[in-house]
Amino acid sequence: MTDKLREECGVFGVFGHPEAANLTYLGLHALQHRGQESAGIVSSDGEVLRSHRQMGLVADIFNEDILAKLTGNRAIGHVRYSTTGSSLLKNAQPFVVSYANGGIAVAHNGNLVNARIIREELENCGSIFQSTMDTEIVVHLIASSQQVSLVNRIIDALLNIKGAYSMLFLTENEMVAVRDPHGFRPLVLGMLKDSYVVSSETCALDLIEAEYIRDVQPGEVVLIDKNGLTSYKPFRSVNKFCIFELIYFSRPDSNTFGRNVYTTRKEMGRQLAKESPVEADIVIPVPDSGIPAAIGFAEESGMPFETGLIRNHYIGRTFIEPRQTIRHFGVKLKLNTVKDYLNGKRVIVVDDSIVRGTTSQKIIEMIRNAGAKEIHVRISSPPIVCSCYYGIDTPTNTELIASSNSVSKIKKYLAADSLKYLSIEGLRASVNNNGNDFCDACFTRDYPVELPVDLDSRQLTLFEREIIVT
Amino acid sequence: MTDKLREECGVFGVFGHPEAANLTYLGLHALQHRGQESAGIVSSDGEVLRSHRQMGLVADIFNEDILAKLTGNRAIGHVRYSTTGSSLLKNAQPFVVSYANGGIAVAHNGNLVNARIIREELENCGSIFQSTMDTEIVVHLIASSQQVSLVNRIIDALLNIKGAYSMLFLTENEMVAVRDPHGFRPLVLGMLKDSYVVSSETCALDLIEAEYIRDVQPGEVVLIDKNGLTSYKPFRSVNKFCIFELIYFSRPDSNTFGRNVYTTRKEMGRQLAKESPVEADIVIPVPDSGIPAAIGFAEESGMPFETGLIRNHYIGRTFIEPRQTIRHFGVKLKLNTVKDYLNGKRVIVVDDSIVRGTTSQKIIEMIRNAGAKEIHVRISSPPIVCSCYYGIDTPTNTELIASSNSVSKIKKYLAADSLKYLSIEGLRASVNNNGNDFCDACFTRDYPVELPVDLDSRQLTLFEREIIVT
Amino acid sequence: MTDKLREECGVFGVFGHPEAANLTYLGLHALQHRGQESAGIVSSDGEVLRSHRQMGLVADIFNEDILAKLTGNRAIGHVRYSTTGSSLLKNAQPFVVSYANGGIAVAHNGNLVNARIIREELENCGSIFQSTMDTEIVVHLIASSQQVSLVNRIIDALLNIKGAYSMLFLTENEMVAVRDPHGFRPLVLGMLKDSYVVSSETCALDLIEAEYIRDVQPGEVVLIDKNGLTSYKPFRSVNKFCIFELIYFSRPDSNTFGRNVYTTRKEMGRQLAKESPVEADIVIPVPDSGIPAAIGFAEESGMPFETGLIRNHYIGRTFIEPRQTIRHFGVKLKLNTVKDYLNGKRVIVVDDSIVRGTTSQKIIEMIRNAGAKEIHVRISSPPIVCSCYYGIDTPTNTELIASSNSVSKIKKYLAADSLKYLSIEGLRASVNNNGNDFCDACFTRDYPVELPVDLDSRQLTLFEREIIVT
Amino acid sequence: MTDKLREECGVFGVFGHPEAANLTYLGLHALQHRGQESAGIVSSDGEVLRSHRQMGLVADIFNEDILAKLTGNRAIGHVRYSTTGSSLLKNAQPFVVSYANGGIAVAHNGNLVNARIIREELENCGSIFQSTMDTEIVVHLIASSQQVSLVNRIIDALLNIKGAYSMLFLTENEMVAVRDPHGFRPLVLGMLKDSYVVSSETCALDLIEAEYIRDVQPGEVVLIDKNGLTSYKPFRSVNKFCIFELIYFSRPDSNTFGRNVYTTRKEMGRQLAKESPVEADIVIPVPDSGIPAAIGFAEESGMPFETGLIRNHYIGRTFIEPRQTIRHFGVKLKLNTVKDYLNGKRVIVVDDSIVRGTTSQKIIEMIRNAGAKEIHVRISSPPIVCSCYYGIDTPTNTELIASSNSVSKIKKYLAADSLKYLSIEGLRASVNNNGNDFCDACFTRDYPVELPVDLDSRQLTLFEREIIVT
């Protein structure tokens, strides 16, 4: 998907290692694909929390000097693309406050669906809010809990919130990892010699050469302190892993929800080839997200895999397209065709998903202009028919092309010779979903956690009482 | 005083003018001497608060683009030198939060003496703190008040706090100016045609050509909204104006506490000449703060006023002195002598105050090296014997040279031929203090507001739970 | 090649288009892979040259405001990785000076081999030099030419220099494109409606939707002015195209030296499979440069192509690796293995070239740690045995692993189960080299342009008379 | 003068001190008033020149890291306000190039009047120019000299140029100080133990505690190398010191042209009081430049000196005045009146000079608005009737109010009750000008160095062939 869903967030933490901040920096770098807007690290030396947060990429935010000041043998970090809250420094995480028991920092991946209601209740009881993040609510709940221990305060707070959350807390002396009862977002435990590591994805463990131990389980609260690791299971849990992690979000070299992502994507491609074969000359991916499924498709169909679209790796969020009266460059800034390979060919184009459809249309036009005789679009997931409320920044339903258009209408819009999506059954088979473990609400409208009414419309106006001018 | 006390803060606000943010920017520029560490403006268009805060000088922080985004016909601004709270962006003001009634911004000049105690109480009731400023406490108290109207919530909050505060609040639709019952810090009201202006000093009114109306009175709460100005007097008040505003802080062109500052300082110089005359050839000030008193001294004594010390106006906080093995430049970077004028002369050096004494010592050495035959130091205020807890960043008592040394010992330390301070009676006469309106605790140890025990020692460790690494 | 050769430079120019600077900006973005150190654009409105040059990436250097100031309907641009001259702003191009006939700007891709000698001659005649670039020499020669017209002055200057150069000149009213008589570096001509476009590669023409017309020919001088395009052929030419453009430098979607780069690289992979087959389970590329050859190898050998190494796309030159006492992360920051796919497999790893060998060694170790049973390394070009003097920043001979080590020793160093390079004959066959058109000196030591003695050792000390401290 | 002439440049150099760069940094800081646009230091360790130049103030440009890299025991530095050449980094000094004999750096205070002609000649002989500074011409002349030694090459070059120049040259092993035959600009020699110091003003010697030795003499060339100091007198000289240095440019604590500046300015004030007395209540200066003359005037006249205008010290070049529809703030941003002192008074306002008159007009209006009953303007120099071509950035004649208006017309424009200038004879008497040593062309049109025709009109268009877009 080049017309991409905004990725959400990634969290990473280390407890008990003399280079905790350095390792967290590396871990965040490996998780950079989960959020490019801001990043932060909070470390603790047992006395005080030290933090550094900034807008931008991990590699641009941190340097040796800054890392050297993040002392202590425990640290947590966060990369963010905002799903709630504006993209401002005050919304960068980890979020750090002082409360009755001392300092506490939190890094959150996910989205709470009842944030508005709880925030109103808290404000009515006299709370003040400085950010627009749902994460701030959790800290208020922890601070106002009548419980004594950190873990019990956290459990107390979580009892009030609904939605998706994989969270890391750090106080002067403890680190706590929690995952919501559905386990929407991934969270894994690892060890680097004697120190504990927690990460959104295993690829970050690989980088620092930590050993993968197990996933934090849905509904589990994991306390890590000087006594080691203690697990709590205060919540009844039902697995509802976000299937989009396997389709698009997670890095292909990660093992997410117990599955290798690359393998799973290849399997989606194979399944797609079985379901929707077509006679053609070459199979090409939309890079980079379509590559594994395209390889799977090519293998299954016996047709040659080619890289008919070349990506410019220097494209970033900062590229400013000059205001052209004549034309708009859009996806051409990112992709170019290899004309020699496409000219006169029947081409199968494999992508992982279609969101708005505008980019896909332009890609097909580019391939057509390169001389392709036939263009068959194959999507390795079902049509996205509705928004996600659990931490993925899908556009509103009206912008999702498959929300109100049939596949044949989309085909026409794309000007493709054929368009086929992977079936929901095919998708489930690809992820080896025996136990019905996944949330696939974006394809099925089957939301595992009930939504408050009018979520979209009221959220902003209530929360954004301060606009920061920069 | 070149070895200077850190100035505190300045506040400025405009209600009902289409260029509210622009005028606030100009007003803050005129108040820049009251705080050079950070500055901020919050404006309101009746719907939402817009803010911009940054470390640095007013002129460096704001530009046309930023000012243009600060829309609305009401705005408040702040320049800060931290007296409590580290010098960090999160401590820059105006402080803005969301609470049950909407958004609220506050700009504070002064210092609360019971901040620690209230903060502990608030944390014990579940509040979380994100800054280390005492100002955050006030907002918590407002948010948790059971009162309905903004003014009543503010009064409710102020009932709990003790110390020095001249504050400006801005919500979507209201501006409120308050001054503590002792009136430690100045706060004046002005009008620019139909719009109200509030400022720490009159020099900012002059710049925007607003008319001075009156001082906000000690213990007064002034509400400005669409119905105009309403005054509340909920607190019993006793005037205890900070006499140091007249000695050093306020700009000489301001009228502070009803007195012209330049005139008052000249009078201190005259009084000093009467009390401690000495035969000499010339009278020179330590620029710039000693100039008015030196002129007064010269006039009274009939000796010629000369500028024997020249100031380098390009010295700022950012000047980094290279690490010299051989010597330390210190005050030489700021001041140089006019040797021709000092050589062979008997010189009277007039300054407004001595804090640590180190700088004064070096200045006297410079004058001696320029060939002065005799050096008579005259200080236009009494010895500072103890710290201020009401918003002036005096060093701890142990660093104040007059805290534990007699005038004759200080004279020896300075290597001056004579040293005389203005008497406390002379000071009081200079400010025409019939009604005993002033706080002069730094000279007399007579603190008008009781202090909690061990204020200095516990404040930091309790509040600084997060260290921001930058 | 991940242990990569520094790419050189890219040039781009537009004549006769109202959005000349905007198009140049886009063209440079498409050529960003040719140099990431600095970039610049010079435009002309017929009266004066306007320039903007800066260190960094094209997207970070230019914005709407800057582009709007680069007025005029002609512009040239440059992206640079320094091959001669330090990486300093003063060495950023286009290089602009004033001389007797007015202003002149030049953008240069390539390297002159007799720069030192000419510079000495020029200095002995009284010339002063402000940069350390060989390009400055060319401008001196133009300025001191006795010829009258710009083209004749340029030809006069070029008669003195030896080496590789594809250059673009811009004066107030003329644009001139030149390519050295061997045509080492590519340079192509295109048209966008009525305006002329010159570019290092065709991928930049594709982006702005310009039509490819033809290559500027070796030894050709092309003048573009109000009268259109005029071609001059003042030099005898012998084709010696840099074969490394096809192996590694050019973007796969470009057609360079009349060949599609992607196709050519796939052919190298096929050829390699024919020459050095081996029984294995999967073929994986070293991303991204090894991908086309790996696809070709897989197709030819009938073995499955897999992406067993995943690249972190957020790695840039700015990533600072924290000083780790324990370990060095190196290539792990860029690449990670897909363990599920490599575990227990016999793996063929395809890369385009090996420079120092250190990175390749680490990649093989990573693949081994992922559980690969056998690792067969296949390189789609011959061993690099000596340095390039025509614009590619190869390390010195002593650092090139193949300069002093046999293939069997390199295999041992890499700890691979087998290692095979493409033969020079195979390479020539792959590029369809009937006419002996290529320079392959880095593989054969057969340098087409004679080198001055002791080039390496004396260049720097003579030129770097000023070190810029930043 | 608040409507001020742009100051020109300052130069500073140290030879033979282990902390040469640190001392130069301090020296430039003391000379900051001579140029605030850019600054630079070049040091030499005997092998190579190291430089750092940047736009901005000395204190903002240099830090410990940068100074530490400027190694070697000799250094020269420069602060600049451009008199020729645009305000661009490429025009920052010291200017450094490589030529036949090695590296050479130059720092120049002054302005050459025949720059255009020489530049044309040089360009016609094949020279290229990269800056628009007249200083670049000198380096070309040195490089193309047939002489062998540095001193002889410099003398050779200087024979060709006309105008004002105090220059410092630095090569790997030599420092050379030169002053033009008229000695327009000051240049002094000092010693710090065994090391030589050269500076535009003595105030910089004072700061580093160097001893003043003597002025570099008009037409003198001073070579400083390992053999110590050697003086050359190759040019016939006639003293024509710039009298404006004493009126306005030099710092009051400097001794310039053998006179203490503060004393001289006081004398101008005394003289003015003698020539143009008037009955009044107080004498106030326009700060800061009018202070010494106002003190002198007050002393002579026996009237009290007061600081009726207070300056905001935070005003800098960066202050952006918001676009106000209603009013323009101008000088009010810098100055405010002390109303209590001015109200009902007859006021004598003393300033050093009037340039355009616009600012003076506004100051008088402010004083009038403060309630002054009478305003008598006294200027401690004669009317400026024409531009300077020797390094002071006076506006063109048409902008100089006294160029085409009589004193009585200016008085009307200023709306002053009276206006008197110091007479030229009074000025000469004040500077004790027995020997006719001064250039006072700006008051008398008596230019000591002949000017080429149409200097103003042609200079820019010929030189500015490149506009740098930033």
**Tens of pLDDT, residue by residue, chain B (470 residues):** 444 455 479 999 999 999 999 999 999 999 999 998 899 999 999 999 999 999 888 988 999 889 999 999 999 999 998 655 666 777 889 999 999 999 999 999 999 999 989 999 999 999 999 988 889 999 999 999 999 999 999 999 999 999 999 999 999 999 999 999 999 999 999 999 999 999 999 999 999 999 999 999 999 999 999 999 999 999 999 999 999 999 999 999 999 999 999 999 999 999 999 999 999 999 999 998 999 999 999 999 999 999 999 998 786 545 566 655 445 677 888 899 999 889 999 999 999 999 999 999 999 999 999 999 999 999 999 999 998 888 777 777 888 999 999 999 999 999 999 999 999 999 999 998 766 799 999 999 999 987 765 555 444 445 677 888 87
DSSP string for residues in C130-162: SS--THHHHHHHHHT-S-SSHHHHHHHHHTT--
By Cβ distance, the residue of A42, A130, A467 closest to B130 is: A130
pLDDT at A396: 77
Helix (H, G, I), strand (E, B) or coil at A188: strand
Q: D48-66 in b/e burial notation, b at 16+ Cβ within 10 A?
A: bbbbbbbbebbbebbeeeb
Provide the CATH topology of domain D261-314+327-431. Rossmann fold (3.40.50)
Bridge partners for A80 per DSSP: A9, A38
Query: pLDDT tens digits for A273-317?
Result: 999 999 999 999 999 899 999 999 999 999 999 999 999 878 654
Task: Specify the CATH number of the domain A260-316+325-431.
Answer: 3.40.50.2020
CB contact at 8 A, A151 and A173: no
Q: Is B269 on the interface with D (CB under 8 A)?
A: no
Query: pLDDT tens digits for C256-311?
Result: 999 999 999 999 999 999 999 999 999 999 998 999 999 999 999 999 999 999 99
- Note whether A touches D: 3 CB pairs or more under 8 A: no
Task: Specify the CATH number of the domain C9-240.
Answer: 3.60.20.10
CA distance A200 to B368: 69
Q: Report the gap between the CA of A99 and the closest CA in chain B (Å).
A: 5
CB contact at 8 A, A303 and A309: no
Provide the CATH topology of domain C262-313+329-431. Rossmann fold (3.40.50)
Which tokens is A351 given?
């992508």
Tokens 């534990």, located at residue: B404
DSSP C434: T
Which residues on chain A are in Cβ contact (under 8 Å) with B99? 123, 126-129
CA distances from B133 to A90, B142, B160, B189, C403 (A): 17, 15, 16, 26, 65
Residue of C nearest to D464 (CA): C48
Helix (H, G, I), strand (E, B) or coil at A143: helix
Q: Which of residues 289-348 of A touch C (CB under 8 A)?
A: 291-292, 295, 299, 304-307, 310, 312-316, 318-320, 322-324, 326-327, 329, 332-333, 336-341
Q: Report the gap between the CA of C468 and the closest CA in chain A (Å).
A: 23
Residue of B13, B138, B131 lying closest to B72 (CA atoms): B13
Q: What is the three-state SS of chain D? A: CCCCCECCEEEEEEECCCCHHHHHHHHHHHCHHHCCCEEEEEEECCCCEEEEEEECCHHHHCCHHHHHHCCCCEEEEEEECCCCCCCCHHHCCCEEEEECCEEEEEEEEEEECCHHHHHHHHHHCCCCECCCCCHHHHHHHHHCCCCCCHHHHHHHHHCCCCEEEEEEEEECCCEEEEECCCCCCCCEEEEECCEEEEECCHHHHHHHCCEEEEECCCCCEEEEECCEEEEECCCCCCCCEEHHHHHHHCCCCCEECCEEHHHHHHHHHHHHHHHCCCCCCEEEECCCCCHHHHHHHHHHHCCCECCCEEECCCCCCCCCCCCCCCCCCHHHHCEEECHHHHCCCEEEEEECCCCCCHHHHHHHHHHHHCCCCEEEEEECCCCCCCCCCCCCECCCHHHCHHHHCCHHHHHHHHCCCEEEECCHHHHHHHCCCCCCCEECHHHHCCCCCCCCCCHHHHHHHHHCCEEECC
Which tokens is A228 given?
């080691």
Q: Which of residues 164-223 of C touch A (CB under 8 A)?
A: 203, 206-207, 209
pLDDT above 90: percentage of residues in chain D: 77
pLDDT at B58: 93
CA distance B360 to A161: 62
Task: Tally Cβ neighbours within 10 Å of residue A101.
Answer: 16
Residue ranges per structural domain of chain A: 9-240, 260-316+325-431
Which tokens is C431 given?
């590029």
Reply yes or no on whether C9 is catalytic.
yes
Mean pLDDT across A167-187: 97
If pLDDT is split at 50, 70 and 90, which confidence band does C457 have?
Answer: very low
Task: Tally Cβ neighbours within 10 Å of residue A432.
Answer: 12
If pLDDT is split at 50, 70 and 90, which confidence band does C319 have?
Answer: low
Query: pLDDT tens digits for A212-229?
Result: 999 999 999 999 999 999
pLDDT at C316: 57
CA distance B112 to D10: 49
CB contact at 8 A, B122 and B137: yes
Residue of B314, B265, B322 lying closest to B294 (CA atoms): B265
CA distance B113 to C228: 81
CA distances from A353 to A83, A251, A350, D263 (A): 20, 16, 9, 83
Bridge partners for B169 per DSSP: B106, B176
Which residues on chain B are in Cβ contact (under 8 Å) with A466? 42, 48-51, 96-98, 103, 105
Q: Is B68 on the interface with A (CB under 8 A)?
A: no
pLDDT at B325: 47
By Cβ distance, the residue of A251, A307, A322 closest to C25 is: A322
Residue of D87, D92, D109 lying closest to D245 (CA atoms): D109
Task: Tally Cβ neighbours within 10 Å of residue A24.
Answer: 33
By Cβ distance, the residue of D49, D98, D467 closest to C128 is: D98
CA distance A456 to B292: 63
**CATH ID of B263-313+329-430, from 3.90.800.10, 3.40.50.2020, 3.40.50.300, 3.90.1150.10:** 3.40.50.2020
Q: Which of residues 276-295 of C touch A (CB under 8 A)?
A: 288, 291-292, 295
- Note whether B touches C: 3 CB pairs or more under 8 A: no
pLDDT top residue among D206 and C451: D206
CB contact at 8 A, C273 and C280: no
pLDDT at A452: 66
Residue of B nearest to A124 (CA): B100
**Beta strands across the sheet bearing A282-285:** A282-285, A346-351, A374-379, A418-421
